[in-house]
C-alpha cells in the first residue's frame, strides 16, 4: 500500500461521492407537502455529489493545502498589492446585523449599513481629494466601466459623446477593454524613455475627439507621473477628462491626493490599497470618485444623509443607471471601513512610505543581478527584465517557476507589455525585512543557477504539488467540467 503523501492528488467531489451519503438535514416539513405541476418537475439532480460532512471538510481542507497564501509569505505580485488581510475585518464583516442584513430592509431598519456606506464614502473622498464616490462597482474593472460611462454622460450632456479614449501603452488590459465596452475607440499614447507618458505625443493625440485619458499613477512600472498636472492641463484644454486608475494608490495614499493633481474621475480597488482579501479571485470592490461636475452622473442609488437619517436616493435624472443589483459589495465595504479605522490617515501614510521603502530595498539589492529596463525612481513596485539571464537560455517564466521551489509566489510576469520579459515586484508594507532578504537571496540564487545549471531552472518547479502543466493541450482540447465515465 502506497503511503499517503502531503502532495497526493486530491480526487474530485464527484469521484469521492457515494450513493446515499448525506451532508445535510432540514427540520421536518411543518406544512402539507406540495409539488409543482409535472411539466415543471425535475427528475433528478444527475451527477450532483452525495457526500457526508466529513467528506466535504476533508476534501476542501486538503485542497486548501495545495494553495500558497499571503499568510504563508511574500506574494510580490506587481500592481496587485497583496498586503496582509487583518483578521478583525473578517470578524466585523460577519457581525450579526451586518452579514444578515437583507438588502430590501426598509431603510429605517438599515441605518447601520447606510451609515457605514456614507462614512466610508466620505473617508475615501477626503483621502483622495474627490467630491463624491460611488461604492456600487463590484470590482476594479466594473469601476473603470462606470468611470468611462460617467465621462461619456458628461460629454453627451455638453453636446458630444466624443469618439476616443487615450490609454498609455503601459496600461493594464482592463483599461482598453472597459473603454471598448463603453462604446469608445482606443488610441495608445507611448511612454518616453523614462517610462512616463510622452508629453509631446500626448499633445499631438489630445484632440476634441478624445473623451478621456486613462492614466495609472504611479504607472505600471512603479514610476510616479511627475508631470501629471501638466497632463491634466493638456487634457482639460481640449475639454477632455482625466481618469486615474487607482490600482497603485498604495504608493502614495496619505501622502498626496489625486484630486489635487487635476484628476476628474478616480477609481480604487478596496481589495488592494484597503486590505480586503483577494479570495482566490474576488470578491473585490471598485469605488469610483468624481469631481463635483460629474456627481449628477453617478450610478443610482446613492446614499444620502438627510438630517440625522441616511436614505437611498434612487432618482437622479442624469445618472448612468445601474451596473449591478442592490448597492455594491457591502461585505467588502465593512472590511475596508474597519481597516481605515484601524489605521487612520497617519497609518495609511506610513503604509505608503513602508511599501515604497520595501520596493526600493529590493530594487537596490537586485539591481546588480537583474536588468532594470528603466532607471526612473520606483515607488511601490519595481520592474526588472530577464535580459541578463536570457543569455543562458533562462527566461522570466522559468525564473518565476523556480521561485516557487524557494517557497515564494512569483511576481507578476510579462506585464507591463512595454518591457520584454517583465518581472513586476510589489512587496507591500506587510513584509518584514527578513522576508525581503530571503526573497533577494532566492532571486540571486536563481540567477546563479541560470548560469551554472540552466536546465534546473528551465524545468522548474520541482517541489510543488503539480509541476508545469501543459496549457497548450488544455487550450486545444478544452475539458471544462467533469463528466461521468459511461
Partner 1 sequence: MSKADGIYPDDLKYTREHEWLAVQGGVGTIGLTHYAQSELGDIVYVDMPAVGAPVVAGEDFGTVESVKAVSEIFAPASGEVLEINGALATSPETINKDPYGEGWLVKVKLADPKEVAGLMSASEYRKYIEEESN
Partner 2 sequence: MGDAHRYVPASDQDRREMLESIGRASIDDLFVGIPAHLKIGTALGVPGPLSEVEVLAEIKARAQANRAPDPAFQFLGGGAYRHAVPALVDHLISRTEFYSSYTPYQPEISQGTLQAMFEFQTLICQLTGLEISNASMYDGASSLAEAILMVERQRPRGRVVISDRVHPEYRQVTRTYLGALGTEMVMFGHRADGTADPEAARRELAAKSASALVIQHPDFFGCLEDVETLAQVAHDAGAALVVAVAEPVALGLLKAPGAQGADVVAGEGQSFGVPVSYGGPYLGLLAARSTFLRSMPGRIVGEARDVDGRRGYVLTLSTREQHIRREKATSNICTNEGLAALTAAIFMATVGRSGLREMASQCYAKTAYARAAIGSVRGCRLPYPAPVFNEFVVELPAPAEEVVRRLNDNGILAGLPIGRYDPARSRQLLVTVTELNTRAAIDRLARELGSL
**Residues 439-478 contacting partner 1, CB under 8 A:** 471-472, 475-476
Residue 173's binding partner out of partner 2, partner 1, none, with CB under 5 to 8 Å set by partner kind:
partner 2
Report which of 271, 422, 405, 266 is spatially closest to residue 333, judged by C-alpha positions. 271
Smallest distance, Å, CB 337 to partner 1? 39
Backbone angles phi, psi at 288, to 5 degrees: -125, 125
In the complex with partner 1, the residue whose CB is nearer, 81 or 385, is 385
SS3 of 3, please? coil
Q: Which is nearer to partner 2, 182 or 451 (CB)?
A: 182
Q: What are phi and psi of 415, to 5 degrees?
A: -150, 135
* Closest distance to partner 1 from the beta carbon of 39 (Å): 39
> For residues 279-338, which are near partner 1 according to CB under 8 A?
none
Distance (Å, rounded) from C-alpha 66 to C-alpha 321? 42
Retrieve residue 462's grid coordinates.
520541482
Q: Is 277 in the site for partner 2 (CB under 8 A)?
A: yes
Residue in 134, 216, 248, 338 binding partner 2, rule: CB under 8 A? 338
Beta-strand runs (E) in 265-323: 265-267, 288-290, 302-306, 309-313
> Quick one: 203 or 420, whose CB is closer to partner 1?
420
**CA atoms of 236 and 129, how far apart (whole Å):** 18
Contact with partner 2 (CB under 8 A) among 121, 429, 447, 449: 429
Counting contacts by CB under 8 A, is residue 280 touching partner 2?
yes
CB 263 within 8 A of CB 235: no
Q: Does 29 bind partner 1 (CB under 8 A)?
A: no
Of the candidate residues 131, 157, 186, 311, the single one contacting partner 2 (CB under 8 A): 186
Q: Counting every residue, how long is the chain?
A: 486
List beta partners, residue 168.
189
Q: Tell me if 475 contacts partner 2 by CB under 8 A.
A: yes
Tell me which residues in 209-268 interact with partner 1 (CB under 8 A): none
CB of residue 474 vs partner 1: minimum separation in angstroms? 8
Minimum Å distance from CB 199 to partner 2? 15
Q: Which string of b and e fits 466-483 if b means at least 16 CB within 10 Å?
A: eeeeeeeeeeeeeeeeee
Q: Which is nearer to partner 1, 28 or 472 (CB)?
A: 472
**What does the per-residue mask of binding to partner 2 show for 387-406, with x meaning CB under 8 A?**
-------------xx--x--
Distances (CA, A) of 214 to 41, 234, 240, 338, 483: 51, 13, 11, 30, 44
The DSSP output letter for 77 is B
Question: Between residues 25 and 475, which has the closer beta carbon with respect to partner 1?
Answer: 475
Q: Of partner 2, partner 1, none, which one sits near residue 415, judging by CB under 5 to 8 A according to partner kind?
A: partner 2
Residues 396-435 that bind partner 1 (CB under 8 A): 414
Cα dihedral 147, 151, 157, 161 sign: negative
Q: Which stretch binds partner 2 (CB under 8 A): 182-190, 208-216, 289-297, 443-451?
A: 182-190
Candidates 1, 34, 200, 485: give the one binding partner 2 (CB under 8 A). 34
SS3 assignment, position 442: helix
Residue 144 near partner 2 by CB under 8 A: yes
Determine the interface stretch with partner 2 among 290-298, 340-348, 383-391, 450-458 (rule: CB under 8 A).
340-348
For 137: left if phi > 0, alpha if psi spans -120 to 50, otherwise beta; the answer is beta
95 contacts which partner out of partner 2, partner 1, none, CB within 5 to 8 A by kind? partner 2
Candidate list 134, 216, 248, 430; residue touching partner 2; CB under 8 A:
430
* Sole binder of partner 2 in the list 6, 41, 200, 485 (CB under 8 A): 41
For residues 23 and 52, is the Cβ–Cβ distance under 8 A? Answer: yes
Q: How far apart are CA 278 and CA 415, in angstroms?
A: 19
Q: Dig out the grid coordinates for 168 from the structure.
A: 498609455
Under the binding rule (CB under 8 A), the answer on residue 466 touching partner 2 is: yes
Q: Which residue in 101, 92, 85, 135 sits closest to 285, CA to CA?
A: 135
Q: Is 30 in the site for partner 1 (CB under 8 A)?
A: no
What are 312's strand-pairing partners?
A: 303
Q: Which of 203, 279, 304, 420 binds partner 2 (CB under 8 A)?
A: 279
Which residues form the interface with partner 1 (CB under 8 A)? 414, 471-472, 475-476
Amino acid at each position: 500500500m502506497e503511503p499517503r503523501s502531503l502532495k497526493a492528488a486530491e480526487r474530485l467531489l464527484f469521484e469521492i461521492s457515494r450513493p446515499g451519503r448525506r451532508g445535510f438535514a432540514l427540520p421536518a416539513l411543518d406544512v402539507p407537502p406540495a409539488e409543482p405541476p409535472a411539466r415543471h418537475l425535475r427528475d433528478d439532480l444527475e451527477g450532483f455529489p452525495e457526500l457526508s460532512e466529513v467528506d466535504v471538510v476533508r476534501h476542501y481542507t486538503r485542497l486548501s493545502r495545495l494553495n500558497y497564501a499571503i499568510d504563508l509569505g511574500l506574494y510580490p505580485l506587481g500592481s496587485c498589492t497583496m498586503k496582509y488581510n487583518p483578521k478583525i475585518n473578517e470578524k466585523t464583516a460577519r457581525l450579526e446585523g451586518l452579514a444578515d442584513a437583507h438588502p430590501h430592509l426598509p431603510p429605517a431598519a438599515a441605518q447601520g449599513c447606510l451609515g457605514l456606506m456614507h462614512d466610508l464614502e466620505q473617508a475615501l473622498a477626503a483621502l483622495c481629494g474627490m467630491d463624491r464616490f460611488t461604492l456600487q462597482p463590484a470590482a476594479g474593472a466594473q469601476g473603470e466601466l462606470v468611470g468611462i460611462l460617467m465621462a461619456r454622460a458628461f460629454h453627451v450632456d455638453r453636446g458630444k459623446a466624443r469618439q476616443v479614449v487615450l490609454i498609455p501603452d503601459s496600461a493594464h488590459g482592463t483599461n482598453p477593454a472597459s473603454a471598448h465596452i463603453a462604446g469608445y475607440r482606443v488610441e495608445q499614447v507611448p511612454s518616453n524613455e523614462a517610462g512616463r507618458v510622452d508629453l509631446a505625443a500626448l499633445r499631438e493625440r489630445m484632440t476634441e475627439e478624445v473623451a478621456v485619458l486613462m492614466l495609472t499613477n504611479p504607472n505600471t512600472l512603479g514610476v510616479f507621473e511627475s508631470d501629471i498636472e501638466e497632463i491634466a492641463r493638456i487634457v482639460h484644454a481640449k475639454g477632455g477628462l482625466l481618469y486615474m486608475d487607482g490600482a497603485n494608490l498604495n504608493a502614495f495614499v496619505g501622502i498626496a491626493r489625486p484630486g489635487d493633481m487635476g484628476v476628474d474621475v478616480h477609481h480604487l480597488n478596496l481589495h488592494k490599497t484597503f486590505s480586503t482579501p483577494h479570495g482566490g479571485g474576488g470578491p473585490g470592490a471598485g469605488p469610483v470618485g468624481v469631481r463635483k461636475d460629474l456627481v449628477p452622473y453617478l450610478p443610482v442609488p446613492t446614499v444620502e444623509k438627510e438630517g440625522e437619517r441616511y436614505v437611498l436616493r434612487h432618482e437622479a435624472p442624469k445618472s448612468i443607471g445601474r451596473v449591478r443589483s442592490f448597492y455594491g459589495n457591502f461585505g467588502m465595504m465593512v472590511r475596508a471601513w474597519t481597516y481605515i479605522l484601524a489605521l487612520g490617515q497617519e497609518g495609511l501614510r506610513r503604509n505608503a512610505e513602508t511599501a515604497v521603502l520595501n520596493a526600493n530595498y529590493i530594487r537596490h539589492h537586485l539591481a546588480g543581478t537583474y536588468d532594470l529596463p528603466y532607471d526612473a525612481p520606483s515607488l511601490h513596485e519595481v520592474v526588472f527584465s530577464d535580459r541578463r539571464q536570457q543569455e543562458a537560455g533562462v527566461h522570466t517564466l522559468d525564473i518565476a517557476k523556480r521561485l516557487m521551489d524557494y517557497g515564494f509566489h512569483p511576481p507578476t510576469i510579462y506585464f507591463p507589455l512595454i518591457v520584454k520579459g517583465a518581472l513586476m515586484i510589489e512587496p507591500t508594507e506587510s513584509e518584514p525585512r527578513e522576508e525581503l532578504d530571503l526573497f533577494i537571496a532566492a532571486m540571486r540564487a536563481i540567477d546563479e543557477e541560470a548560469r551554472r545549471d540552466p536546465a534546473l531552472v528551465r524545468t522548474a518547479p520541482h517541489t510543488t504539488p503539480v509541476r508545469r502543466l501543459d496549457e497548450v493541450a488544455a487550450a486545444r482540447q478544452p475539458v471544462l467540467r467533469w463528466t461521468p465515465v459511461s
